[in-house]
Amino acid sequence: MKHLFAVFAVVIFAFSTFGQKKTNEKKNVKPLAPTLKAATIDGKIVNTADLRGKVIVLNLWFINCPNCLQEIKMLNEIVDEYKDKDVVFLGLATNNKNDLQKFLKKNPFKYQVVPNAAEFMLASYGELKNGAYNLGFPTHVVIDREGYIVMKMEGIKGVEAVKKELGKQFETKETKSK
């Protein structure tokens, strides 16, 4: 009977400890964004660590993704809307430089485009499922001025989420400076 009670106590303790950990994980703890250092298709070196103090918007995409193509016009409108703000727009693509250059001649995209970024995308923003990293396309990520991920959303609905988060990021800064 003592052994049964001891086992029961250990089980209760384990559940309460694990339950507590999950509760703490759900609090609004912003993860630090991984650093990206890469060349854009026009040869410019981008290092996100050097961009602290600016908001960074990432779009993870590839040429043959129907939703990625559908949202380019909407993303270009966001770039135009925030062109005078401290924000950097980076399009991380899985495709190579030559394929992207051909594609972008017909489909202008105002984000700075980084080719061959699949490995970085999966390692940094993919979710580990069944022993493999998975990532939905398109994926949108907003990184605040301090380098923390404040928004990540897969799918075309991410365009509205980016707009909303940029509104928060710049409303907060303008309110604080008044």
Q: Facing residues of 142 across strands?
A: 57, 151
Domain membership flag for residue 22? no
Domain membership flag for residue 113? yes
Share of the chain above pLDDT 70, in %: 80
Asked whether residue 112 carries a pLDDT value surpassing 90, the answer given is yes
| Residue 111 CB neighbours (<10 A) | 21
Mean pLDDT of the 14-35 span? 57
CATH code assigned at 101: 3.40.30.10
Number of domains in the chain: 1
The confidence score (pLDDT) of residue 13 equals 36
Nearest to 165 by CA among 80, 8, 58, 92: 58
Residue pair 61/140 in contact by the 8 Å Cβ criterion = no
The Cα 133–Cα 135 span in angstroms is 7
The Cα 121–Cα 136 span in angstroms is 10
Q: What is the pLDDT of residues 52-69, one digit of tens each?
A: 999 999 999 999 999 999
The confidence score (pLDDT) of residue 33 equals 96
Structural domain range at position 138: 37-172
Domain membership flag for residue 27? no
The confidence score (pLDDT) of residue 127 equals 85
Domain membership flag for residue 87? yes
Mean pLDDT of the chain: 85
Q: What is the pTM of this model?
A: 0.80
Q: What is the pLDDT of residues 83-99, one digit of tens each?
A: 999 999 999 999 999 99
Domain membership flag for residue 155? yes
Token pair, residue 141, equals 């990520």
Nearest to 86 by CA among 168, 170, 177: 170
Domain membership flag for residue 23? no
Asked whether residue 8 carries a pLDDT value surpassing 80, the answer given is no
